[in-house]
Amino acid sequence: MIVVLFLTAAVAGCSKEAGSDDPGAAGSNETVRMTPDRTSVIRNPLSGWVMYLGRSWDENFWTSEGYDAMPTSDGTTVRVSDYATTAYLRTGWSTLETAEGEYVWRDAESRYARMLKSCLDRGLKLALRIVFDGRDQGQNTPLYVVDAGAACYEENGVKTPYMDDPVFQEKYTRFIEALAEDFNDPDKVDFIDAYSPGKWGEAHAVLYKDNANKAAAFDWMTSLYARCFTKVPIFINYHRLVGDPNQNSWVDVVPDDTEPLLESAIAKGYSLRHDAFGMTGYYKDWEKSFAKTWNFKRPILLEGGWITDGTHRYWIDPSGEYREGHPEDVREGEYLLGAEAHVNMMDLRVNNEVDVWFRKSFGRVKDFVQKGGYRLYPDQVSVPSEMSAGSRLTISHRWVNLGWGYCPNNIPQWDYKYRVAFALLDESDAVQALFVDTDSDPSAWINGRPTSYEFKLTLPEIPAGEYTWAVGIVDTSKENAVGIRMALPADRLTDAGWARLTAVSVR
């Protein structure tokens, strides 16, 4: 039977070993110093690259897009999905609910169900944005909503409901509730874009019957997602025109209600993303300042704005940094702005954008693997090498984050579920005793600020014998299984993700 103890530890500036003047103390501690793995792709929640899925997906997607044999600028050939943590689908409401109450993802033979399964089979988690505005994309809202009497704006035969229409809100609420029944699952879903009105679902140029209803409609939608997605992180675009009805231009004037609206969403549990990184006419001083305010309080996700395959004239960017015919300049701009914002995730967009990242800017792909998001490891741990039941133990441990982002253990959907734990492993690497340090908090581990803890406990009754000390970052909501992969060499880790430290004798 596994012994599990939940104990607190004091944060300290340096480690302290058990002293021989303590009659109940264990024997001398052994300090283990560890060298990190700085280069491997490590798949952890809300960290790393996000690859995008196309609406035209079929079984040939991985090969037809070249994703299973992508040449790189360093002369190698790789699988794109091997570099990603998450597969992101942005699609229309009407494609997921073809008729009222008919949800395509629940049909295992449907194209969407097969697409999502193919991602999970590759070890990728899922992410979603559901768009209902169809002005630039086609009929994104199911027509049954229109037939039920929702007031709509019509353009080129496409009907988009007004966000403050009560019929639309009723039908949309039922859809999101159904979506959450299956996708409020952190084992398969990394995040949900949870505020998606307006063109492309990017929360600008939003349609209302009465513009005075902007704040009420914002509160309705953000409250809906926050109520439905309690275990999966939810995100909102941070920009100066969030929810704004302005249809004609991307104005520089920031409406007075922008920050209060965003702050109200954050208070409900939202985290942040921006869809125009690299577009310096859109991602400007206001956005930079807002991101800085929330650094290490909420994770930030990056989506590049310029489409460089001919859709956009990226070389006219106000920065003057992008040369015509050199889309790799745009990738560099996105990377540098992402570093400034301390983003946790960056995007590998479909089609030519992925090609540019791998064929021309693969060095930056690898740089983000090494430096972006969070990358955690214990650089030194001091544990007893000999002990017996009733021994008072002191374990010192220090943690380093090699990434510029942070592990968002503090967001409401995670609720500090990740903690450091120490385990006693038997010869087959099975856990025989486990001790959770409830004062440890990965969200406090910021690049350049190593964090030390002193963990005191009394050893309970366990069978005498030889064990191996191990350390891990466990998910306390999943019976203390390792939940965060540490940045350590594979030969130090067990199959379950524990890092072996040193042998210990229990008398």
For the residues of 104-125, what is the DSSP string, one character each? GGGSTTSHHHHHHHHHHHTT-E
**What pLDDT, in 10s, does the model give residues 78-113?**
999 999 999 999 999 999 999 999 999 999 999 889
A 10 A CB-CB count for 11 gives 12
Which pairing describes strands 481-484 and 465-475: parallel, antiparallel, or unpaired? antiparallel
Nearest to 443, CA basis, from 296, 242, 243, 230: 296
Tell me how far apart the alpha carbons of residues 240 and 225 are, in angstroms, rounded to a whole number: 22
Question: What's the angle, vertex CA 272, arms to CA 270 and CA 278, rounded to 5?
Answer: 165
pLDDT score of 3: 61
pLDDT score of 507: 93
Q: Are 457 and 25 a contacting pair, CB within 8 Å?
A: no
Q: What are phi and psi of 370, to 5 degrees?
A: -85, -35
Question: pLDDT truncated to tens, each residue of the chain (507 aa)?
Answer: 466 665 554 433 333 333 344 546 666 999 999 999 999 999 999 999 999 997 777 778 888 888 999 999 999 999 999 999 999 999 999 999 999 999 999 999 998 899 999 999 999 999 999 999 999 899 999 999 999 999 999 999 999 999 999 999 999 999 999 999 999 999 999 999 999 999 999 999 999 999 999 999 999 999 999 999 999 999 999 999 999 998 876 778 899 999 999 999 999 999 999 999 999 999 999 999 999 999 999 999 999 999 998 889 999 999 999 999 999 999 999 999 999 999 999 999 877 899 999 999 999 999 999 999 999 999 999 999 999 999 999 999 999 999 999 999 999 999 999 999 999 999 999 999 999 999 999 999 999 999 999 999 999 999 999 999 999 999 999 999 999 999 999 999 999 999 999 999 999
Cα torsion at 213, 218, 221, 224 (round to 10°)?
Answer: -110
Q: Which pTM was predicted?
A: 0.94
Q: Are 290 and 284 a contacting pair, CB within 8 Å?
A: no
Query: SS3 for 175?
Result: helix
**What pLDDT, in 10s, does the model give residues 353-411?**
999 999 999 999 999 999 999 999 999 999 999 999 999 999 999 999 999 999 999 99
Tell me how far apart the alpha carbons of residues 235 and 301 are, in angstroms, rounded to a whole number: 9
Tell me how far apart the alpha carbons of residues 52 and 50 are, in angstroms, rounded to a whole number: 7
pLDDT score of 170: 98
Residue 178: DSSP 8-state = H
Q: Are 53 and 88 a contacting pair, CB within 8 Å?
A: yes
Query: SS3 for 162?
Result: coil
138: left (phi over 0), alpha (psi -120 to 50) or beta: left
Residue 494: DSSP 8-state = -
Name residues whose C-beta falls within 8 Å of residue 18's C-beta, 6 or more positions apart in sequence: 25, 26, 27, 28, 29, 384, 392, 393, 394
pLDDT score of 301: 98
pLDDT score of 74: 95
